[in-house]
Each structure stands twice: as C-alpha cells, then as structure tokens.
Copies of this chain bind each other. A is one copy, B any other.
Amino acid sequence: MSKPQIFKTPSEMNAWSKAALRDGHAVGLVPTMGALHDGHRSLIERARTENDRIVVSVFVNPTQFGPNEDFHNYPRTFDKDLKVCAATNVDALFAPETKDMYGAHARTWVDVGGLSDTLCGLSRPGHFRGVCTVVAKLFNIVRPDRAYFGRKDAQQLRILQAMTRDLNFGIEIVPCDIVREKDGVALSSRNKHLSPEQRKQARSLSRALEHCRQRVAAGERDAMKLVGEMTEAIQKQPDAEIDYIQMVDADTLKELEKLKGSVLVALAVNIGKTRLIDNMELNV
C-alpha cells in the first residue's frame, strides 16, 4: 500500500505519463467519476495485473450531464477515493478541476454516430458526446496502453471502442465484468442516493434480467414477450419508472424482434429520482 502521486492539471499528468512511456513502462488508465466502489476496484485490480503503471482519473465531467441531470448532486468522495487508490497501489491519481479540463473557449466535440442515438442516448441527448470528448482528452493526456471500462455501461463501452478504433488511438479498451452486491444489484455510485426502501426495489432490475436469462434458456426468443414480462415485474415496484428495457444486437445496438446471436439485454429504470442501469449479454 502506497499513496499515489496526485496530479491536478493536464500538463502535470502528461509530463508524468511521458516519462513513464520514455522509461518503457506500460500504462493502464482507469477513467472514473470518483465515488469509487468495488466495481471500480475490480477495474483497477485488472489493470494492475496487465500494466507497469496505473493511472486512475477522477473527474465528474460536466459535459456528459444534461441540464436536468444530477451533475451537482453526483457523489464526490475524494478522500475515500484516495484511500481506495492507495490500497490498490495506484501510481497516479489524476483529479483535475473543470476549469483545467475545459478552457473558456472549448468548442471541440467528438461524436460517434449510429451507436449514440439509441438506449441511454435517447433519454440523455448529448451524453455520449460528452463522454467521448472527455475520454479523448484523457487518452491524449495520459496516453495509456490500455484503458479499463465496466460492462455495466454497455453502450458507453461500445461507443468508446468505436471511437478508439476510428480515431486510431492505438489504445486497447479492456471491458470488465459487472460487479454486483450479494442480492444482485449492480454496483453504482448512484446507489448512495437510494433510501433503504428504494434499495430493496432496485433488486427488481437484476431480477428481471435473471428472469429473462432463464426464459431464454428455456427457449423463449420473442423480444416483445420478454420485455413485457420484465416490464411487468419492475413496474410492481412503487418508486420504479422504466426508461427503457430493450433487446439489441450486442455489436450494432439495433433492436431485435427475435433473439439471435450475440444479444444485449439492457435497461434503465428510475427508482425515485435515481436513474439506474443494468444489462446482460446472452449468446443465443
């Protein structure tokens, strides 16, 4: 256990990375918005096994939040995050302020077409543009060999894979499995916002996915039928409001009528004011 070096500005972070590169070190980047939980920890531990140096970035990126979303309310727990990074032997913690990431005249956007206008992209217009832009910036600042992203953000993962390939970043995107609580709820920084009663209701997401998995294992292939059953189960929760439940092709994110091949079952549900997402991949 050793405290990471903390960098507050892109130029300081970049200087460290350049030196690591010159010394022939492989660098792994774990981009986060902080409020680190065991899901992030699993990304860091995976990165630790595959690289010589690990950078964790903690930046609540304003450009990926809509005007009515929870940017100001997003959990910020820097001291705790620092402890997690120390416990996992992170080498460098990049924690810039907004003003150092976005100058007054910032006007450049990175956009991935086709994959961004479905699922979360529909209810969060501009969200993935903000994600791509900040990740492109982080990639240039840190110049990692590998970058680690969770499968919980399934659409984000695919969009960032496309961006990395299309813009020739030369960075390996490493997808990491969803980490769940014992009762099946996927770890999320936003789970903090749930009341104890809402936390119970949140189980309905992973349970609906599990129900779907069993139904598919038993031979069901009709997407509308499966979505209907999942909808019914989740709607029983008094505070649940479904944003979407969809069965899409895992590569193209195009909606499926009949389940076939590599399928992503994805859902987004508001529990009270807290928006939760979850998903699973099936090979049908």
Contacts and interface: CB of A to CB of B under 8 A. Distances in A.
A112 B133 CA distance: 11
- Cβ-closest 5 pairs across A and B: A108-B166, A140-B168, A107-B113, A137-B168, A107-B114
A105 interface: yes
Given A108-B111, A111-B108, A14 B168 contact: yes
Contact of A110 (B21, B110, B169): B110
Contacts of A168: 10, 14, 137, 140-141
B112 A110 contact: no
Contacts of A14: 168, 170
Contacts of A113: 107-109
Contacts of A166: 103, 106-108, 137
A282 interface: no
Given A14-B170, A137-B168, A141-B170, 19 more contacts: A22-B22, A103-B165, A106-B166, A107-B114, A107-B115, A107-B162, A108-B112, A108-B113, A108-B132, A108-B166, A109-B110, A109-B111, A109-B113, A110-B110, A111-B111, A133-B167, A136-B167, A140-B169, A140-B170
A111 B170 CA distance: 21
Interface in A1-32: 10, 14, 21-22, 24
Contacts of A132: 108
Contacts of A103: 165-166
Interface in A137-176: 137, 140-141, 162-163, 165-170
Q: Chain A's interface: helix, strand, loop or mixed, by majority?
A: mixed
Nearest to A116: B107
Contacts of A167: 108, 110, 133, 136-137, 140
A107 B133 CA distance: 15
B163 A108 contact: yes
